[in-house]
Amino acid sequence: MMTNNKNAPLVAGLDIGTSKISILIARVQNKTLEVIGVSSVPCNGVKKGAVVNIDAKKGAVVNIDATTEAIKKARIEAELMSGIKISNVWAGVSASHVSSFNSTGMVAIKDKEVKQDDVERVIEAAQAVAIKDDRELLHILPQTFIVDSQAGIRDPLGMSGVRLEVGAHLVAANSMTLVNLRKCAYKAELQINGFI
């Protein structure tokens, strides 16, 4: 059972579904979430998580207004339920717009001992790969590190060596889908913290 700590940090999520928009507001306490507000409203401005409106003459065109209005309505309902106004959310992205791939990176270890800066540089090297123009990188997930050919390392901090490598999994999404989601959220007076 959670205590009713009104000063606990808040987190909010936005889900753009196939036929509805959902918003959830929760308090974060002791590494758990206490849901304090939730709302789902129908929306015909989305298709498979993308903001669209099917027009027989023109094909698929962006319908920002219908989606914006649904986000506003869901936000207001969740705020009324929780008694808290929100200004930013984490947004879910439909799997049909997401792709992922593996990458590697390699850097020289600056002071012969792996420090946080070395880890950040090797992760940055792994994401320095060619990504299609229509994709935006969402996440880089380090899978394994290698220090001087010693593989299978989960946390290389403090290890001695001269070369640090990483095997990472990169997640990207259709950039125009993300632009349109950001635009709808902004018009609904919400800032998107990031995509999940």
pLDDT in tens, 43-60: 876 665 565 554 432 222
* Residue 130: per-residue pLDDT: 82
Q: Which domains does the chain have, with CATH numbers?
A: 10-95+176-195 (3.30.420.40), 96-173 (3.30.1490.110)
Question: Which residues of the chain are under the pLDDT cut of 50?
Answer: 1-3, 54-62
Q: What local confidence, expressed as pLDDT, does residue 10 receive?
A: 94
User: Tell me, what's the pLDDT at 8?
Assistant: 78
pLDDT at position 55: 44
Q: What is the pLDDT of residue 61?
A: 29
User: What pLDDT, on the 0 to 100 scale, is given for residue 30?
Assistant: 87
Q: How far is CA 99 from CA 16, 180, 191, 196, in A?
A: 18, 18, 24, 13
**What was the pLDDT predicted at 5?**
61
Res 133: pLDDT: 85
